[in-house]
Structure formats: C-alpha cells, structure tokens
Amino acid sequence: MKISIIIPVYNEEQFIIKLLNSVNEQKNKYELEIIIADDNSTDKTREILEENKKLYDKIIFKEKNEGKGSAIISALNHVTGDYILIQDADLEYSPNDYEKIFKPIEHGADVVYGSRFMGSEPKRVLYYTHKIANKILTTVTNLLTNINFTDIETGYKLIKTDIFKKLRLKEKSFAIEIEITLKLAKQNLKFFEVGISYNGRTYAEGKKITLKDGFIAIYKLFYYRFFSNLFWNKKISQLKTMLGMFLWKIIK
C-alpha cells in the first residue's frame, strides 16, 4: 500500500527541512511517495529544496503564486500511490499522527479526516475567532450534507487516489478544502475521522489563512452543494444562450 504525500509549499524556508525530515522518518513504517508543489515561493524555500533533493521523490515549481488549491491540483498528475494525504508544510500538523490517519484503511476507509477537535492529543491554544469560524463552517456543512463531521477545515485529508482524481478540483485558494469535502459528500463513500494533535501558529509566525477566506468558504459551501453539478451548469448555459438570442433579436 503506497501513500502519496502532497506537500503544498509557499515561503516556508523556516520549516520545510524539519517537516521533510519528519515525513521521511515515517518511511521506516510506511511506503510513502513525497511530492512537493512549490507555489512560486519568494524566500529561500526553492533554493533549500533544490539543495535537498534526497528528501522528496518529485517536485513541481509553479511559475505563478495562486494558492494552496492550485499547488495541490498541480501535483495530482504526478501521484502514483493508492491514497493521497495532504500535508501542510508549516508543521501545524505532525507526521507522527500518520499511524492514526492510516489506521482506518484497515477498515476499508475511502476518506479519513484528521480532526483537531477529537481525542486527547495536545493542541496549541490560539485564536478563538478561528475556532468559532471552523465550528460554523462545520455545522453548516453537516446540515447541508447530513454527515457528522467535526473539522472540515482540517489540513489532514486522506483520500483514495482514484476518488481524489475524479473530483476535478478547480479551487486555487484555501477554498479547495470546502470543494473537496462537498464533492466527496455527494458520493456514497466510507468516511472516518480520527483525533490528531495540532500545533497552530500565529500570523507573526507565518499563518496565511485570514477572515476573508472564512467568508469565501461560506459562499463556496452553498455553491458546491446546490449549483456546481452538471445539471445546473447545463441549465445556466442554456439560460445564457436563450438570453443571448433574445438580446440579439432586440438589437436587430
């Protein structure tokens, strides 16, 4: 069983080597494929990565900074594992939790989410507003999908590769977390959640997600629940065509 670890990276010169060493330690237990997608870093991240090629299997250097989602999407064509796990590069999520994340595979899991709000693992106490925002997003998601998630914004998402690739992801920003969850929820899949540790960082330490991303996430929840399927896309396209013909007749 091979698991592909996709690591989206942007300006992580402070943490990237420590993170990669930690992931590589897990190779003693699991067959891992490490794929890095650098989202056009402007610090020394790229230079560090080029000097440490033994710490990963594949790397993609993007020519334009577009966001976490874009980095993940750019890596998908390079995946050869049976499952994909997204691993943030900032060490908020510890590779020491891989054992917990991978355990549900034994029970036929299609999807495993690492929840920061389950279990007794240590969690760094930080922004109350982030916790409230996550609770709101998770609650709304549960209402829209009838699935009892506890942490949809978690960075640790383990998904079968064939399922992941069929999602046809489009979101370039942090909104990809919402897109992934809502598209998975529309399928008849076997979901698991496991408690994980969490060492969140402050904005001064490089945290990138903002309040703006929270508002975008709310919008994307409803968009991917009600308006993103092929039926509605076809209807919208038909309406645009009809409107175009009507306006053409008026102009004529």
Query: What do you get for the CA distance between the two ends of the chain, in Å?
Result: 64
Whether 157 and 192 have beta carbons less than 8 Å apart is answered as no
- The pLDDT value recorded for residue 225 is 86
- The pLDDT value recorded for residue 137 is 87
pLDDT reading at 230 higher than 80: no
| CATH superfamily of this structure's domain 2-251 | Spore Coat Polysaccharide Biosynthesis Protein SpsA; Chain A (3.90.550.10)
- The pLDDT value recorded for residue 193 is 97
The pLDDT-based confidence of 87 (bands split at 50, 70, 90) is: very high
Q: What residue segments make up the domains of the chain, in order of their start?
A: 2-251
Distance CA 152, CA 139 (A): 9
- The pLDDT value recorded for residue 221 is 84
Residue appearing with tokens 């064939």? 162
Averaged confidence pLDDT in the chain: 87
For helices 128-145 and 211-222, the axis angle rounded to 10 degrees is: 0
Bridge partner list, 195? 115
- The pLDDT value recorded for residue 53 is 97
* Of residues 41, 33, 77, 44, the one with CA closest to residue 61: 41
pLDDT reading at 246 higher than 60: no
Residue appearing with tokens 């969690």? 123
The pLDDT-based confidence of 236 (bands split at 50, 70, 90) is: low
pLDDT reading at 222 higher than 50: yes
Cα→Cα distances 136→113, 115, 151, Å: 18, 15, 10
* Of residues 144, 117, 112, 121, the one with CA closest to residue 131: 117
Lowest-pLDDT range, 47-51, 86-90, 135-139? 135-139
Average pLDDT estimate for 85-110: 96
Average pLDDT estimate for 100-115: 97
The pLDDT-based confidence of 231 (bands split at 50, 70, 90) is: very low
pLDDT reading at 81 higher than 80: yes
pLDDT reading at 92 higher than 80: yes
Quick: pLDDT tens for 43-74.
999 999 999 999 999 999 999 999 999 999 99
Sign of the Cα torsion 110, 114, 118, 119 reads positive
